[in-house]
A and B are shown apart, each in its own frame.
Chain A
Amino acid sequence: MSVALDLLSIVAVVAGAFFFLAGTVGLLRFPDTFTRLHALTKADNLGLGLVVLGLLPHVGSALAGLKLIVIWLLVLLSGAVASQLIARATRQRDPDA
């Protein structure tokens, strides 16, 4: 049982790390602000989400697991709002970017 959980953790964390890699590469290589924003959200949603999923079997109590999920939801929320605001601000500055 615990071997299966360990395996799940490893797979999830590796997948999460891959999405962080994808997000970072996207941030560096995409040609303009809006496409880079798109890359950023991959790291937020899937990167952190998979890492949290991988760490859930290892928490000491239900409260710690709840905190992990709340962290992920908070990052999702703030990432979504920040992306909207950044996109709007960039549109206003540079209408043809």
Chain B
Amino acid sequence: MADFLLAASGFVLLMVAVGLARILRGPGDADRMMAAQLLGTGGIAALLLLGAATGEDAVVDVALTLALLAAFASIAFVKAAATASRDDTAAGNGK
């Protein structure tokens, strides 16, 4: 059972690695934010699977903190990108 959970964790990590390609390619900021979001969720899943595999209960607390802070970080990202694009269009409209 522990081996299976470890393998599952490794698989989710592999998916995370492949999703990183989207951060690399873009082409827009939105794609990068979405890739970061997927990494957050995948990271939480991998963390939970690892914690169950090794029997370490405190890892669930780490995943809980990560869930909260990832929510905060993605909102901060989107807000920054939205403000930037609003400034862009304002500047482009002949200021």
Contact = CB atoms under 8 A, between A and B. Distances in A.
Q: Do chains A and B touch in the complex (CB under 8 A)?
A: yes
A90 B63 CA distance: 29
A51 B43 CA distance: 12
Interface of B: 1, 4-5, 8, 11-12, 15-16, 18-19, 21-22, 28, 30-31, 33-35, 37-38, 40-42, 44-45, 48-49, 52, 57, 60-61, 63-64, 67-68, 70-71, 74-75, 78-79, 81-82, 85-86, 89
Interface of A: 6, 9-10, 13-14, 16-17, 20-21, 23-24, 27-28, 33, 36-37, 40, 43-44, 47-48, 51-52, 55, 58-60, 64, 67-68, 70-71, 74-75, 77-79, 81-82, 85-86, 88-90, 92-94
Question: SS class of chain B's interface: helix, strand, loop or mixed?
Answer: helix
A76 B80 CA distance: 22
Contacts of B81: 89
B44 A89 contact: no
14 contacts: A10-B4, A17-B12, A20-B45, A24-B16, A27-B34, A36-B31, A43-B41, A58-B1, A58-B52, A64-B57, A68-B60, A82-B78, A92-B85, A93-B89
